[in-house]
Amino acid sequence: MNGGWWQRGWRYFLEALFPAECLLCRQKTEAVDQLCLPCMTTLPASPDCYCLRCGQRTAHVSQGCGHCLAEPEQHADATYFAFSYDDPIASWLIGLKFADRPEWARTLGWLLWQRLGNSLQWETPALVLPVPLHPLRLLRRRYNQSALLAATVARRLHVPLQTRALRRIKRTKPQTRLSAVERAVNLRDAFRVESALVAGKDLLLLDDVYTTGATMQSAVRALKQAGAGRVVVVCLAVVQRELTGAPAGSVDYSILTDSRSW
């Protein structure tokens, strides 16, 4: 006997008990943990001045710049940014990372796919990799926010999520208040790669925020030195100007609070 009837009935019951509402304006939406179309139009725009290959800031959109054309083996082969680092995306990301709100990754992953899905479907990675945290930082936070976001992309692309291929072996200082030069020094030799897992494979590498590019460049360099093929970088948000990280206590985290448990 087909059990679809009771599954549909259960879904209708849950929808009646917990109606789907926009997480910003509370208007009715098609699914839980999403935004309505009017609120989607208020989200930060995608950045418009960066190199589409390595992600570095440029005077205009370009397919290559002085950074990656001079040393292509040191940089990504393509870079995608979903949003500029502005509110509400910025506040949600800070809450995800510093206010112990891993459940927000579900909405942020959905927003990333809404913005970049059409482009990413043209990519053919063998694996999706999140930028890893150092084990001690992972132990303290209990989750890697980039891995939570990467899981959504991997599921949408129908490719495996690989969390063991790239490891962070250097306990670096927090990056939020470091200059671009300090970030590069801080991340030197920070990653180790399991070559057997990536050699000859095209990869999609995902992180939550791109500031100066130091983290991504260090990770991409390590992957290519280990024999990886095409490496595509994806970030939920990119900082388009030098900003210092806001202390966790200065942000209103109630903006995305929802009564449902995920």
pLDDT in tens, 169-211: 876 656 556 565 665 666 667 889 999 999 999 999 999 999 8
Amino acid type, 214: A
pLDDT at 10 > cutoff 60:
no
Average pLDDT, the chain: 80
Report, as an integer, the average pLDDT of 206-232: 92
**Residues 39-95: tens digit of each pLDDT:** 888 899 888 778 888 887 777 666 777 777 777 777 899 999 999 999 999 999 999
Domains of the chain in start order, with CATH, are 1-42 (no CATH), 44-256 (3.40.50.2020)
Helix axes 89-98, 145-157, angle to 10 degrees: 120
Question: Mean pLDDT throughout 228-256?
Answer: 64
Question: Given a cut of 80, is residue 245 above it in pLDDT?
Answer: no
d(CA 125, CA 160): 9
Question: Residue 38 is encoded by which pair of tokens?
Answer: 């009017």
Categorize the per-residue pLDDT at 253 as very low, low, confident or very high, splitting at 50, 70 and 90: very low
